[in-house]
Amino acid sequence: MIELHRIREQKNELIERYKLRNFDACEYLNQIVNLDKLRRETQFNLDNKLSELNSISKEIGNLFKQGNKEKALELKDKTLQLKESTKQLKEDLQNSESALREILLHLPNVPNSEVPCGNCEEDNIIIKEHGKLPVFKVDALAHWELAEKYNLIDFELGVKITGAGFPVYLGKGAILQRALINFFLDQAISNGYQEVIPPLLVNEESGYGTGQLPDKEGQMYYVNEDNLYLIPTGEVPITNIFRDVTVNKNDFPIKKVGYTPCFRREAGSYGKDVRGLNRVHQFDKVEIVQITHPKDSYSALTSMVDYVCSLLEKLELPYRVAKLCGGDLGFTSAITYDLEVFCAAQNKWLEVSSVSNFETFQSNRLKIKFKDDDAKSKFAHTLNGSALALPRILATILENNQSSQGINIPKVLHKYTTFDRIY
């Protein structure tokens, strides 16, 4: 959520920055400025009325003590009028605050000035490529074919038990999945992240805090009886650990990592791009989250991107890093880097991680503050990244490492799987 003082002081600059998203924010920001002005005027009038009411009440008490009952009763009639007007002002204030919050909740984050112009995925800028793309002498099998051949994943069994998009991992497929989770967690811990195991369901306040609500409400699974949401990403519960917390600036950067299953409805996703593990409703992910001082958040962002790159290199997967254009930028993000791996049999790049800096967008909603050197309370910056999302990583490992002798397992996983090949 954008800070009100920023909108008041930088409205024209923000209008220009929002154009990077292909978003005309002029009307929204004007409404916010006008509502904020009305809110502050109403608050000012209410404070004056309450102050006047307090003074008169004290005067009435003194008059009764002095025996001036007639004058005291006159003033008491005036307090009734003041109480009525303060009641109306309180109602007006609540209405203006509700209207203001509603607009602010639907306003996306302001893009960082480094975000490139563009309308869609094709306009993202590739800033790095690493590794050689695998070449096969014969047609390679797609991972869903390999999963069936080696009895690793049963997609039809998932349909029977739950529905499409809920795969069942079997045997060495399940072991490989668990190996990746442990590998990612161990790597994060050795890089200074503290592991947490958060809840898989969150309340409405948590969803609003990190910006999934109201923006992604239709993509989240909802438990109606309990008014809870299944998490679409570990970012939601992990970041909410710090909701309404004033953190110690000496603890920056605060680094957390968590493994969670994630749940997304993926409404509107159809066709060949959703086959196998490409797009599922339940998937495993290891998420990294940082809470930082504002002046350090962009160096933290760089380090997080580099860290995810190191994971892909250790897994010996060819990858590229894309800086997302404004038209492809998520609702909550100020800037995002996507990391994609090349999946050989499908001959395509698949996104496996998004690393984002939200600046104060989430911390303003969550009220994550710290006291700076000037003793003033300020909002921290929040960042998060997938490190990594497992379905497409697993799919790429299967496709890229297939051979006539089976599927070779990346060396860094051998100690976790206890086997080096699937055959």
Q: In whole angstroms, give the CA distance from residue 110 to residue 361.
A: 9
* Bridge partner residues of 291 (DSSP): 254, 382
Examine the pLDDT at 137 and tell me if it is beyond 80: no
Q: Give a yes or no: residue 170 inside a domain.
A: yes
Confidence category of residue 70, pLDDT binned at 50, 70, 90: confident
**What is the reported pTM?**
0.93
Confidence category of residue 266, pLDDT binned at 50, 70, 90: confident
**Residue 48 sits in the same domain as residue 176:** no
Q: Give a yes or no: residue 62 inside a domain.
A: yes
For the chain, what is the mean pLDDT? 95
Of 50, 78, 105, the residue that ends a domain is 105
Read off φ and ψ for residue 32, nearest 5 degrees. -65, -45
Q: Give a yes or no: residue 114 inside a domain.
A: no
Residue range 137-144: mean pLDDT, rounded = 90
Of 41, 73, 105, the residue that ends a domain is 105
pLDDT tens readout for residues 177-203: 999 999 999 999 999 999 999 999 999
Return the amino acid letter for 185.
L
**Residue 198 sits in the same domain as residue 94:** no
Q: Give a yes or no: residue 158 inside a domain.
A: yes
Q: Give a yes or no: residue 395 inside a domain.
A: yes
CATH of the domain at 149: 3.30.930.10
What is the structure's pLDDT at 75?
Answer: 79
Q: What domain range includes position 416?
A: 121-422
Token representation of residue 196: 């947490």
Give percent above pLDDT 70 in the chain.
98
Please give the radius of gyration of the chain, using alpha carbons only, rounded to the nearest integer.
27
**Residue 145 sits in the same domain as residue 197:** yes
Q: Give a yes or no: residue 89 inside a domain.
A: yes
Residue range 221-237: mean pLDDT, rounded = 98
H or E stretch including 208?
helix 204-210
DSSP state of 322: E
Q: Cβ(328)–Cβ(123) under 8 Å? A: yes
H or E stretch including 354?
strand 348-359
Examine the pLDDT at 78 and tell me if it is beyond 60: yes
Q: Cβ(354)–Cβ(336) under 8 Å? A: yes
What is the structure's pLDDT at 271?
Answer: 55
Token representation of residue 420: 């080096």
> 54-58, 60-64, 278-282, 332-336: which has the minimum mean pLDDT?
60-64
Q: In whole angstroms, give the CA distance from residue 79 to residue 300.
A: 57
What is the structure's pLDDT at 268?
Answer: 60
Q: Whose structure tokens read 């897994």?
A: 315
Examine the pLDDT at 69 and tell me if it is beyond 90: no
Token representation of residue 305: 């991107």
**Residue 177 sits in the same domain as residue 244:** yes
What is the structure's pLDDT at 72?
Answer: 73
pLDDT tens readout for residues 239-248: 999 999 999 9
235 against 59, higher pLDDT: 235
Of 57, 77, 105, the residue that ends a domain is 105
Q: In whole angstroms, give the CA distance from residue 346 to residue 398.
A: 12
Residue range 360-386: mean pLDDT, rounded = 97
Residue range 52-75: mean pLDDT, rounded = 80
Return the amino acid letter for 283.
F
Q: Give a yes or no: residue 111 inside a domain.
A: no
Q: Is the dihedral of CA 94, 96, 97, 101 positive or negative?
A: positive
**Residue 192 sits in the same domain as residue 60:** no
Count up the domains in the chain and report the number.
2
CATH of the domain at 88: 1.10.287
**Residue 294 sits in the same domain as residue 398:** yes
Residue range 73-92: mean pLDDT, rounded = 88
Token representation of residue 75: 């003033």
pLDDT tens readout for residues 318-330: 999 999 999 999 9
Cis status of the peptide bond prior to 232, with omega within 30 of 0: no
Neighbours of 70 (CB within 10 A): 8
**Residue 30 sits in the same domain as residue 91:** yes
**Residue 147 sits in the same domain as residue 228:** yes
**Residue 80 sits in the same domain as residue 146:** no
**Residue 319 sits in the same domain as residue 218:** yes
Read off φ and ψ for residue 143, nearest 5 degrees. -65, -30
Q: Give a yes or no: residue 336 inside a domain.
A: yes
Q: Cβ(311)–Cβ(292) under 8 Å? A: no
Read off φ and ψ for residue 125, nearest 5 degrees. -105, 120
**Residue 395 sits in the same domain as residue 255:** yes
**Residue 299 sits in the same domain as residue 274:** yes
